[in-house]
Amino acid sequence: MLQVMGISKTFNPGGVNERRALDGVELKLQKGEVVTVIGGNGAGKSTLLNAIAGVYTVDAGTITIDAEEVNQLPEYKRASYIGRVFQDPMMGTAASMTIEENMSIATKRGLRRKLRRGVKKRDREFFCDRLRLLGLGLEDRLATRVGLLSGGQRQALTLLMATLNTPKLLLLDEHTASLDPHTAEKVLELTKMIIRKYRLTTLMVTHNMEDALCIGTRTIMMNEGRIILDLNDAQRKNTSIPDLMEMFKKASGFAMADDKMLLAN
Amino acid sequence: MTSSIWFGALEQGLLYGVMVLGVYITFRVLDFPDLTVDGSFTLGGAIAARIIVEGMDPWLGTALALVFGLGAGLVTGILHTRLRIAPLLAGILMMIGLYSINLRVMGGKAMLSLLRLDTIYTDVAKVAPSDWAVLSLGLMVAAAAAYLLYVFLQTEMGLALRATGDNEQMSRSMGVNTDSSKVLGLALGNGLVALSGAMVAQYQAYSDVGMGIGMIVVGLASVIMGEVVFGNRTLARTLAAVLIGSIVYREVIAAVMRMGLPTSDLKLFSALLVIAAMASPMITEKLKPGKTVERMT
Ligand SMILES: Nc1ncnc2c1ncn2[C@@H]1O[C@H](COP(=O)(O)OP(=O)(O)OP(=O)(O)O)[C@@H](O)[C@H]1O
Ligand SMILES: [Mg+2]
């Protein structure tokens, strides 16, 4: 499904702030596979997701989605294959537009936008059906501006929008990290439900070790722009959180003690 | 009544209102501080005036103004999206470049008089009472422009344009070609601005190479006043507010001039008006939950 072959990315090459964020990353995802990604701050997790989504071009390597090489495709074209939810709940929706307008934009992901009405009557029914999945009562607030919603509501909406046109690949970048624990749990439940319902191939970055080990079927760990650990489901079953910490220490040479990964538990 | 300054301000409010709609698209919808406006307003006036002076149809001149305004916005958009020139600089470059172009359009003269020449208003005066010619045409054009915008901004393309101005990252991740959206928005905005310039030039019976100076500030002041007076809860309301703001602005100008403010101080007055609006937290608050005033800068 997704093939990432030897991609590297250096920010500010040659400058004083030169930073090698990705260093020959290799990753293959099968169709329907759900993979969690962990790693310390600055490990390159977000950069990996951004590179796949096409936010910037990579310096080396290739990215293939369903046998199509997408390296040269700009972000907005790759969007036809990819649904995304960002860490910042403000990032995934347009605040000055209504819920139905936001959803209408999402239904046109990967399609040509024409000069015809964006929100039609039968769209509204469809939007309501989907919004009901969230159980947040948003189906009664189609004409509410998204800026008036809470962070958790916005994030849930973003998740819904990212999957409204079933994407080939779902990229989640710590999408519950800036929500309060209760809301985070709720959004995570929704995430699991949606992934299961539409059998989405997913790459999910998290700082929560517990989530990392129990969601999906595989966990990869990144450090300094590289994948340093790749655990399949069987291996994960025999791995405790302290084990994971230990593995991180071994693989990277650093303890994770002062990292927020620990605090997340 | 028809000769009163309040009536004149109403006429101007509608004619300039078309320009304010243009500024609304670039500045507010697209969040693009587009200074091209100063040049494209004059461009519209210059084209219409030249066509009329050459003895051609004033309607043709007005239509050409619209078309070339679209073109000017298109170029600004390309400067920004293809050459990656920052919005402010792209607009300034266009404004400066257009200054020379506008002079050329006007045959090297800083002013073209349209006195005793037929304009679109003389045509309208044949079918309507002449005192009401400007008002009725202005109302028709402004209302039509606002209505078309209202419809367009709710189409799939229009939604993409609004999303681009609101949240570029989100738009791209939803498959919106944000570069195209920007070019489209800038073209539309400047098209309206130039159309307004053409109508204003024919109204005042001359075009002047400096007639667009400070238009961006006038546009902004009008948008802000309209939203404060009339609100921006829905799209329809906001568009109406933009036109109302333009009228309110002209009435305020008429009032301060009546109180003895010299014409030469008008631009300072407009600038102070915008600064006051930006500085007022109460107004900033009022403009939520749409774009905040801060985001417009
Ligand atoms: N746009 C950018 N310009 C310059 N440097 C960047 C940019 N984006 C990321 N970096 C750098 O690349 C490195 C990897 O960053 P990245 O955001 O991928 O880390 P991360 O694993 O997502 O970390 P976190 O857990 O803190 O989100 C960091 O050192 C970061 O400073
Ligand atoms: Mg990150």
Encode pLDDT of A204-227 as tens digits.
999 998 999 999 999 999 999 999
The Cβ-side half-sphere exposure at A89, using a 13 Å CA radius, reads 20
Q: Is any Cβ of chain A less than 8 angstroms from the Cβ of B294?
A: no
Cβ distance of B155 and A118 shorter than 8 Å: yes
C-alpha radius of gyration, chain B, whole number: 18
Predicted local confidence at residue A256, as pLDDT: 53
Confirm or reject contact between A92 and chain B (CB < 8 A).
yes
- pLDDT-based confidence at B281, cuts 50/70/90? low
Name the band, by pLDDT with cuts 50, 70 and 90, for residue B2: very low
Q: CB-based contact (8 Å) between B155 and chain A? A: yes
pLDDT, position A36: 97
Say what the pLDDT of residue A225 is: 94
Give every CB contact of residue A121 below 8 A, 6+ residues apart in sequence.
Answer: none
Q: Is B295 on the interface with A (CB under 8 A)?
A: no
Q: Which of B164, B192, B162, B152 is nearest to B36 (CA)?
A: B192
Residue A221 lies in a domain: yes
Of A75-79, A172-176, B274-278, the poorest mean pLDDT is in: B274-278
Cis peptide before B289 (omega within 30 of 0): yes
A116 touches B at CB < 8 Å: yes
* Nearest chain A CA: its distance from B184 CA (Å): 13
pTM equals: 0.92
**pLDDT score of B296 more than 50:** no
Is the per-residue pLDDT at A169 higher than 90? yes
Mean pLDDT of B70-83: 98
Mutation probe of ligand 1 site: the residue of A47, A248, A263 with most atoms within 8 A of C-beta: A47
| CATH number of the domain to which A105 belongs | 3.40.50.300
- Per-residue pLDDT at B14: 98
Maximum distance among all Cα pairs of chain B, rounded to whole angstroms: 56
Structural domain includes residue A67: yes
pLDDT at B297 over 90: no
pLDDT at B288 over 70: no
Atom index in ligand 1 nearest the CA of residue A47 equals: 18
The chain-wide mean pLDDT, for chain A, equals: 92
**A19 alpha carbon – ligand 1 mean position (Å):** 9
Q: Of all atoms in ligand 1, which is nearest to the CA of residue A205?
A: 22
Task: Indicate if the alpha-carbon torsion angle A176, B178, B161, B192 is positive or negative.
Answer: positive
- What is the percent of chain A with per-residue pLDDT over 70, rounded to a whole number? 95
Task: Give, for ligand 1, the residue of A12, A19, A226 to mutate: max count of ligand atoms closer than 8 Å to Cβ.
Answer: A19
Burial class (CB within 10 angstroms; exposed 0-12, middle 13-18, buried 19+) of B178:
buried
Return d(Cα B91, Cα B161) in angstroms, integer: 19
Q: What is the pLDDT of residue B195?
A: 98
Q: Over 90: is that where the pLDDT of B194 sits?
A: yes
What band does B188 get if pLDDT is binned at 50, 70 and 90? very high
Q: How far is the CA of B194 from the centre of ligand 2 (A)?
A: 46
Query: According to the model, what pLDDT value does residue A260 have?
Result: 47
Query: At A254, is the pLDDT very low, low, confident or very high (cuts 50, 70, 90)?
Result: low
Stretch among A238-252, B3-17, B179-193 having the lowest mean pLDDT = A238-252
B29, HSE (Cβ side, Cα atoms, 13 Å) = 31
Token pair belonging to B124? 């309208």
Give which of B154, B156, B235 to mutate to test A binding, by max A Cβ within 10 Å. B156
Least confident of A74-83, A208-217, B108-117, B165-174: A208-217
Mean pLDDT of A174-194: 93
Residue A117, pLDDT above cutoff 80: yes
Across the beta sheet with A68-69, what order do the strands follow?
Answer: A19-29, A2-11, A60-65, A68-69
If pLDDT is split at 50, 70 and 90, which confidence band does A265 have?
A: very low
Pairing between β-strand A226-231 and β-strand A218-223 as defined by DSSP bridges: antiparallel
The contacts of residue B206 (CB under 8 Å, 6+ apart) are B49, B111, B112, B113, B114, B115
Instruction: Give the model confidence (pLDDT) of B246-278 as tens digits.
Output: 999 999 999 999 999 998 998 898 899 888 877
pLDDT band at A50 (very low <50, low <70, confident <90, very high): very high
Residue A262 lies in a domain: no
Contact (CB<8Å) B154/A105: no
The pLDDT value given to residue B292: 41
Cβ of A109 and B154 within 8 Å?
no
CA-nearest residue, atom 30 of ligand 1:
A42
- The pLDDT of residue B291 is 44
Answer for the pair A157, A93: CB distance below 8 angstroms, yes or no.
yes
**Residue A44 CA to ligand 1 centre (angstroms):** 6
Which position has the higher pLDDT, B99 or B296? B99
Alpha-carbon distance A252 to nearest alpha carbon in chain B (angstroms): 33
Instruction: Scan for tokens 């310039």, then name that residue.
Output: B197
Chain B contact present for A11, CB below 8 A = no
Residue A263 belongs to a domain: no
Distance CA B104, CA B86 (A): 27
Average pLDDT over residues A134-158: 95
For residue A71, what are the domain limits? 2-257
Distance CA A200, CA A205 (A): 15
Mutate to test the interface with B, among A113, A141, A155, A157 (most CBs of B within 10 A): A113
Is B181:B159 a contact under the CB 8 Å cutoff?
no
What is the Cα–Cα distance from A154 to B289, expressed in whole angstroms? Answer: 15
Backbone angles phi, psi at A150, to 5 degrees: -75, 165
| Residue with CA nearest ligand 1 atom 6 | A11
Map chain A to HEC letters.
CEEEEEEEEEECCCCCCCEEEEEEEEEEECCCCEEEEEECCCCCHHHHHHHHHCCCCCCEEEEEECCEECCCCCHHHHCCCEEEECCCCCCCCCCCCEHHHHHHHHHCCCCCCCCCECCCHHHHHHHHHHHHHHCCCHHHCCCCEHHHCCHHHHHHHHHHHHCCCCCCEEEEECCCCCCCHHHHHHHHHHHHHHHHHHCCEEEEECCCHHHHHHCCCEEEEEECCEEEEEECHHHHHCCCHHHHHHHHHHHHCCCCCCCHHHHCC
Question: Are A113 and B156 a contacting pair at CB < 8 A?
Answer: yes
Report yes or no: A86 at the B interface, CB cutoff 8 Å: yes
* Model confidence band, residue A262 (pLDDT cutoffs 50, 70, 90): very low
Closest residue in A to B235 (Cα) is A97
Does any domain span residue A195?
yes
Burial of B222 (0-12, 13-18, 19+ CB in 10 A): buried
How high is the pLDDT of residue A243? 87
Q: Which amino acid is located at B23 in the chain?
A: V
Ligand 1, atom 4, lies closest to the CA of A11
Residue B295 has pLDDT above 50, yes or no: no
CB contacts of A92 in chain B (<8 Å) are 170, 173
Counting residues of chain B whose pLDDT is more than 90, the rounded percentage is 83
* Four-residue CA torsion sign, B77, B82, B88, B94: negative
Q: What is the pLDDT of residues A28-44, one digit of tens each?
A: 999 999 999 999 889 99
Q: Is residue A209 a contact partner of residue A261, using CB atoms and an 8 Å limit? A: yes
Yes or no, beta carbons of A96 and B166 under 8 Å apart: yes
CA distance B17 to B242: 7
Q: State the closest ligand 1 atom to the C-alpha of A39, by its place in the atom list counted from 1.
A: 21
Provide, as residue numbers in chain B, all residues whose Cβ is less than 8 Å from the Cβ of A113: 156-157, 159-160, 176
The encoded tokens of residue B228 equal 């404060």
Kindly identify the ligand whose nearest atom is closest to the C-alpha of A260. 1
Residue with tokens 């990579």: A58
- Whether residue A79 and residue B160 make contact (CB cut-off 8 A), yes or no, is no
Residue that is written with structure tokens 């921006």 in the block? B232
Residue A15 Cβ contacting ligand 1 at under 6 Å: no
Beta strands A82-85 and A169-173, pairing class: parallel
Which amino acid, residue B175?
G
Is A209 among the domain residues? yes
CB contact under 8 A, A117 and B170: no
Between chain A and chain B, the number of residue pairs with CB atoms below 8 A apart is 98
pLDDT, residue B90, reads 98
Nearest CA to ligand 1 atom 17: A46
**Any domain includes A180:** yes
Q: Do B162 and A96 touch (CB under 8 A)?
A: yes
**Quick check: A258 pLDDT over 50?**
no
pLDDT tens-digit series, residues B78-123: 999 999 999 999 999 999 999 999 999 999 999 999 999 999 999 9
Residue A75: pLDDT over 60: yes
Q: What's the total number of domains in chain A?
A: 1
Candidate from B29-43, B189-203, B228-242, B282-296 with smallest mean pLDDT = B282-296
CA-based nearest residue in chain A for residue B178: A76
- pLDDT above 60 for A259: no
Q: What angle do CA B108, B113, B117 make, to 5 degrees?
A: 130
Note the pLDDT tens digit of each residue in B205-251.
999 999 999 999 999 999 988 988 888 889 999 999 999 999 999 99
* Per-residue three-class SS string for chain B: CCCCHHHHHHHHHHHHHHHHHHHHHHHHHCCCCCCHHHHHHHHHHHHHHHHHHCCCCHHHHHHHHHHHHHHHHHHHHHHHHCCCCCHHHHHHHHHHHHHHHHHHHCCCCCEEECCCCCCHHHHHHHHCCHHHHHHHHHHHHHHHHHHHHHHHCCEHHHHHHHHHHHCHHHHHHCCCCHHHHHHHHHHHHHHHHHHHHHHHHHHHCEEECCCCCCHHHHHHHHHHHHHHHHCCCCHHHHHHHHHHHHHHHHHHHHHHHHCCCCHHHHHHHHHHHHHHHHHCHHHHHHHCCCCCHHHHC
Weakest mean pLDDT among A119-133, A244-258, B222-236, B237-251: A244-258
- A40 domain residue, yes or no: yes
